[in-house]
Chains A and B, each alone.
Chain A
Amino acid sequence: MRESELLRCVMQEVIRVENLTKSYKDVVAVDHINFSIKKGVCFGLLGPNGAGKTTTIEIMEGIIKATKGQVFYHDKPVDESMSQQIGIQFQHTALQDFLTVKETLNLFTSFYKHTVAHEELIELCDLSEFLDRDNRLLSGGQRQRLLLALALINDPEIVFLDEPTTGLDPQARRNFWQLIKNIKARNKTVVLTTHYMDEAQQLCDDVLIMDHGKVIERGTPRELLNKHFEEVFIYLPAEQVPTELSQQLNWQVQNQQVEITTTDVEATIALLLAKNVSLSGLHVKSPNLDDLFLKLTGHTIRD
């Protein structure tokens, strides 16, 4: 039995999506998709811009209505009462101008019956240094941390994060990943959309890859990579490898690098040494989700 199937069997299901479809005039944004999410996992909805991720997640949140199909939360169709139990961080959202971070937390606290103590949220999302700052003056990373705190304010069972690190610098992204790991450690179910495959690989236990509104693959990142790739990639500076050798063994030359795809690293290195090829500058790379996406769709995630 595959790892993800095992996960699905032993863990309690919190969300089930059945035959979900969303059409806008001539465009089918989401096309008859089915999946379920287990409690306590970080579930990644992956795909390029326009794949239908945000539409899917917003239907799951009850923000927009499906054209066809249904979303079940603990086996019951999604209704308004769900808003007390979920936390949402949208991809694009503004906060009320002229309110400070603390006042914004107070405002959102008033909306819910059950809330987390502010001290706990402030610590979890690292808000202490800008609590009295006007929302308009927050940096991108600070803003995302505040939006995450607002998503967690009602101590939700499920947290929906729609491309939470888009537009952040590398350091802010890595800080944000740590926050998500902290949330996962509290046994929350996290539903994350992203077009950063490294982010999914870092955070997600279970991923669903979408393109053109359809599900094209589903599983844990390791499982998917094992399923689709037996080989690894070896890279060498092109000037060190004789052209005849590259052509003879059908190795790809890109960006002044020779890319060698192999299932047996030791044998390939032995061959290079036998041909007196210098190994300085050599590096070995395992395939990642970016490579998987390229293999599945024929284009890269950012095309």
Chain B
Amino acid sequence: MNFSRFFAVVKARNIEFFRDRSSLGWNLFFPILMLVGLSFVFSGDGRAVYKVGVMNLAQSQSSFLDTKHVGFIDYQETALAKVKLEQHSIDLLINFNTQQYWVNQGAPNSYLVEKIFLSDHKNFQRIETQGKKIRYVDWVLPGILGMNMMFSCLFGVGYVIVRYRKNAVLKRLKATPLSALEFVSAQLVSRLFIVIFMSSVVYLCCNVFFDFYMLGSYFDLLVIAILGAFSLITLGLLVASRSKSEELIGGLLNLSSWPMMLLSGVWFSLEGAPNAVKVFADFLPLTHLVAGARKIITEGATLADISYHVSILMGMSVLFLALGAYFFSWNTER
């Protein structure tokens, strides 16, 4: 490994990214627009489907439990269920035995589903959750930033390498003493720097307007962000390891990114989702990035508390990197 060659490629790639105004603008403004848009959307009406936690669901009986478009999730411990309510994982918590229900004052969905619930059960005791209120925008923040990081890592590495391969930039580089390891490492480090830098700028800018909820440590958040971005970049490298076709790579990258966008907990909690979906989501790096970051932000978790997510992200990175390096081809044959 020659570090002079490595740093020269990192520098060149960074220059290329920061001078590409349209790409830079998209990477910067897209997540901000998403956050602003969502904060408006969810400050009024809510989503079509609500999630209601029920203490001892199996023993509970009520016509409310037959309501359409409402999902009911069983809880055995009130304390855990209240945390889920505070974190927007559920919209309402009901205990039919004690005739009590809990609402999250900061959640518009909680307000709406309470209205539906009260039409049948007017005599239940209303309890508001304690502690600092978490808005939906606080809850969705790690999801939006994670999703943006995912697109930037997958497309920023995968697509660029395939473009380099197709238009023979890779071929020109192969004709120099630059090794595949130096080239791939430089792409990885350059994209990691770009993604973390851009995400930090977006977070800090939005924080001025939204004053985000943050219970954990910023250092821990940075560590999980780096680990998550690293695993997503290595996935991008693996996907782009051989192909010369931008159409094929576009399809493969979409195939990798869309399941993560829908199932990694970016937009809504997987609480109450079928077990098969949860198991599938566990194989997606974004799931662990978003879940880890969300626990740090909303629960004040430490890296030790989220060691499961940390270790999975590290394991995925090693696996993707090893496979990507094994399959990597300059692909100079015509």
Contact = CB atoms under 8 A, between A and B. Distances in A.
A64 to B, nearest CB: 6
A99 B20 contact: no
A92 B20 contact: no
A108 interface: yes
Interface stretch (B163-171, B198-206, B319-327): B163-171
A103 B4 CA distance: 15
A93 B16 contact: no
A99 B333 CA distance: 26
Contacts of B178: 111
B176 interface: yes
B19 A110 contact: no
A93 B172 contact: yes
Contacts of B5: 110-111
Q: Which of B8, B171, B172, B332 has the most CB of A within 10 A?
A: B172
Interface stretch (A30-38, A82-90, A227-235, A263-271): A82-90
A73 to B, nearest CB: 14
A97 B164 CA distance: 10
A88 B177 CA distance: 12
Interface string A172-206: 00000000000000000000000000000000000
A84 B13 CA distance: 23
B169 A94 contact: yes
A93 B169 contact: yes
Contacts of A95: 169, 172
Contacts of A55: 334
A90 B175 contact: yes
Interface in A95-111: 95-99, 103, 106-108, 110-111
B175 A61 contact: yes
Given A83-B176, A94-B167, A110 B333 contact: no
B16 A90 contact: no
B332 to A, nearest CB: 5
Given A84-B177, A98-B16, A107 B8 contact: yes
A251 interface: no
B12 interface: yes
Nearest to B9: A107
Nearest to B172: A93
B103 to A, nearest CB: 53
A111 B168 contact: no
Nearest to B175: A88
B175 A63 contact: yes
A64 B332 contact: yes
A103 B177 contact: no
Contacts of B11: 107
B334 to A, nearest CB: 8
B176 A98 contact: no
Contacts, number: 69
A63 B174 contact: yes
Interface in A41-70: 54-55, 58, 61, 63-64
Nearest to A65: B333
A261 B5 CA distance: 60
B15 interface: yes
Nearest to A63: B332
A97 B15 CA distance: 9
A111 B4 CA distance: 8
Nearest to A62: B175
Nearest to A108: B176
Interface string B1-44: 00011011101110110011000000000000000000000000
B185 to A, nearest CB: 15
Contacts of B4: 110
A83 B20 CA distance: 31
Contacts of B174: 63
Nearest to B21: A98
A110 B7 CA distance: 9
Given A83-B177, A111-B176, A112-B176, A96 B8 contact: no
A94 B168 contact: yes
Contacts of B9: 107
A93 B171 contact: yes
Contact of A93 (B8, B13, B168): B168
Contact of A111 (B169, B177, B334): B177
Contact of A64 (B19, B20, B333): B333
Given A93-B169, A99-B15, 19 more contacts: A64-B334, A80-B177, A83-B176, A84-B177, A90-B168, A90-B175, A92-B167, A93-B167, A93-B168, A93-B172, A95-B169, A95-B172, A96-B16, A97-B16, A106-B8, A107-B12, A108-B176, A112-B177, A150-B172
Interface of B: 4-5, 7-9, 11-13, 15-16, 19-20, 167-169, 171-172, 174-178, 332-334
30 contacts: A54-B334, A55-B334, A58-B332, A61-B175, A63-B175, A64-B334, A90-B168, A90-B171, A90-B172, A90-B175, A93-B168, A93-B171, A94-B168, A94-B169, A94-B172, A95-B169, A96-B12, A96-B16, A96-B169, A97-B16, A98-B15, A99-B16, A103-B15, A107-B8, A107-B12, A108-B176, A110-B7, A111-B176, A112-B176, A112-B177
Interface of A: 54-55, 58, 61, 63-64, 80, 83-84, 88, 90, 92-99, 103, 106-108, 110-113, 150
Q: Which 4 A-B pairs have the closest CB atoms?
A: A110-B8, A94-B167, A98-B19, A111-B176
